[in-house]
């Protein structure tokens, strides 16, 4: 999704450019900002470059976000090995920014059987700290494979404590958690690690965001993230069930169809409200029913 900024609020434009799957680290960068009608909003200005990650940033002020609209453009000019390159970035200025309102717990509360199919492993730590657990004999998954999941200590040091996983590094077999455990993890710590459905939640959220965007007038939409809780739960379970289904009409295929219907019913019951006349009030002509994106469900 494009970056979004609230109208009349400051924010930060961010971009990282990659080549051959590696982030480029420019020696310098500038940015020019244009309104969606093509007029210049900000003349070329110096951007900040992170010398480690290569991320380029520029601080937007309330002057840049005074008007709502879609497809404002930032043109970045950056220098790598003495050569200047250019990258265009689109962004929106809107009246409401949506965030993901659910976690794995919401999915489990809706469909308890998901607890049993969530990827999980047991093991014994080789070492650790209050914020890390290392298991050099077993943890060889890809970087951040376990990010967003849960680490629970079953016995030994910190027995009974659970923590959200914030990172996983394959090369060192290190699981990082936050907040910290009460004591440092050690070789007595027997653990269970459970992978999150975070990626499916994000995928489903982006689908709903796209549907709202395609409905038009996204810049004027007034909507709270909490209003998307149940449509997002149902759509996420739909996609998880599709992945778990082995053949047409098996348990998971039927659940995928059931939760697609739950999603469409809950999403179409939303009333989308728009403040198109800048009055601060929603008039009758500024409401419309939500329409879900089209999707073929089940296995064909």
Radius of gyration of the chain (CA): 23
Q: Report the alpha-carbon distance of residue 166 to residue 144 in Å, rounded.
A: 8
Architecture of domain 3-94: Sandwich (2.60)
Distances (CA, A) of 252 to 116, 177, 219: 13, 32, 38
Q: Phi and psi for 107 in degrees, rounded to 5?
A: -65, -45
Task: Say what the pTM is.
Answer: 0.75
Give residue limits of the domains in the chain. 3-94, 119-194, 198-289
Strands 132-134 and 174-177: antiparallel
pLDDT of residue 266: 95
Which mean pLDDT values do the consecutive 10-residue runs of the chain (300 residues) have?
92 95 95 96 97 96 96 97 97 95 93 88 95 94 89 95 93 95 96 90 94 90 94 97 91 96 94 78 56 51
Q: Which two tokens stand for residue 124?
A: 């014994």
């Amino acid at each position: 999704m494009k970056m979004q900024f609230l109208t009349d609020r400051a924010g930060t434009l961010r971009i990282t450019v990659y080549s051959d799957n590696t982030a480029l680290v420019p020696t310098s960068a500038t940015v020019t900002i244009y309104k969606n009608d093509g007029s210049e909003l900000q003349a070329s200005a110096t951007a900040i470059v992170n010398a480690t990650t290569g991320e380029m940033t520029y601080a937007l002020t309330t002057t840049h976000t005074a008007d709502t609209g879609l497809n404002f453009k930032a043109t970045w000019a950056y220098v790598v090995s003495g050569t200047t390159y250019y990258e265009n970035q689109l962004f929106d200025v809107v009246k409401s920014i949506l965030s993901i309102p659910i976690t794995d717990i919401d999915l489990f509360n809706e469909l308890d059987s998901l607890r049993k199919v969530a990827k999980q492993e047991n093991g014994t730590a080789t070492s650790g700290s209050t914020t890390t657990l290392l298991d050099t004999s077993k943890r060889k998954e890809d970087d951040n494979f376990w990010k967003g999941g849960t680490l629970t200590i079953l016995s030994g040091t910190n027995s009974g404590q659970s923590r959200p996983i914030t990172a996983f590094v394959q090369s060192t077999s290190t699981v990082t958690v936050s907040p910290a455990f009460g004591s440092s993890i050690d070789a007595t710590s027997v653990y269970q690690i459970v992978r999150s459905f975070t990626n499916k939640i994000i995928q489903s959220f982006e689908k709903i965001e796209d549907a709202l965007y395609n409905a038009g007038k996204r810049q004027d939409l007034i909507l709270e993230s909490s209003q998307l809780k149940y449509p997002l739960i149902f759509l996420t379970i739909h996609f998880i069930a599709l992945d778990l289904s082995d053949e047409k009409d098996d348990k998971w295929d039927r659940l995928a169809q059931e939760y697609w219907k739950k999603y469409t019913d809950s999403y179409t019951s939303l009333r989308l409200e728009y403040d198109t006349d800048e009055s601060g009030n929603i008039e009758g002509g500024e409401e419309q029913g939500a329409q879900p994106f089209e999707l073929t469900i089940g296995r064909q």
